[in-house]
Amino acid sequence: MKLLKFAKWLDEKNAGFIISSFGIALILLWIGLFKFTPTEANGIAGLVQNSPLMSWMYKIFSIETTSRIVGVTEIVAALAILAGNFSPKIGVWGSILCIVIFFVTSTFFLTTPGSIAQVDGVWAPSGTGSFLIKDISILGASIFLLGYFSKRVIATNY
């Protein structure tokens, strides 16, 4: 019974929204800013070049420019999620951008060689795979945010 009361209290305090929105924004801001470094630009090269959704970028842009474009996109999404606290319509657009970002990064798990390895006879995420698999959860949280912000937009338009 106490657990149910605690769950109700968390819901009333919007804990899921607060943690999801600020958590996603923190991740995107931090990683987005890091995309402006040579280390990160080279670090994502293997992911991008093996992605059917993103490899085209290297035909047009350098490794550094591609990384910066990705970084700007991540920073814009983070700021839009944060702005959604004041303008739910901006939050909707930020959530959509997050869904696109984390859908694409979730596919890296399938397209990056070595993401899955056999360990002691069991297929498991490798180091890279372990890093990438979290994006599936963040994709789910982004979908949650889209629903949350959409409800707020609908509620304020009536």
- Residue position matching structure tokens 């739910």: 88
Q: Tens digits of per-residue pLDDT, 141-151?
A: 999 999 999 99
Q: Which residues share a beta bridge with 132?
A: none
The pLDDT score that the predictor gives to residue 147 is 96
Query: What predicted TM-score, i.e. pTM, was given to this entire model?
Result: 0.91
Count the Cβ atoms, other than its own, within 10 Å of residue 122.
7
Evaluated on CA atoms 131, 15, 26, 107, the torsion sign reads positive
Both tokens of 65, joined, read: 């420019």
Which ranges of the chain have pLDDT less than 50? none
Q: Tens digits of per-residue pLDDT, 27-36?
A: 999 999 999 9
The pLDDT score that the predictor gives to residue 39 is 97
Q: Residue 142: CA atoms inside 13 Å, Cβ hemisphere, count? A: 28
The pLDDT score that the predictor gives to residue 119 is 86
Q: How far is residue 62's CA from residue 148's CA, in Å, rounded to a whole number?
A: 37
The pLDDT score that the predictor gives to residue 158 is 55
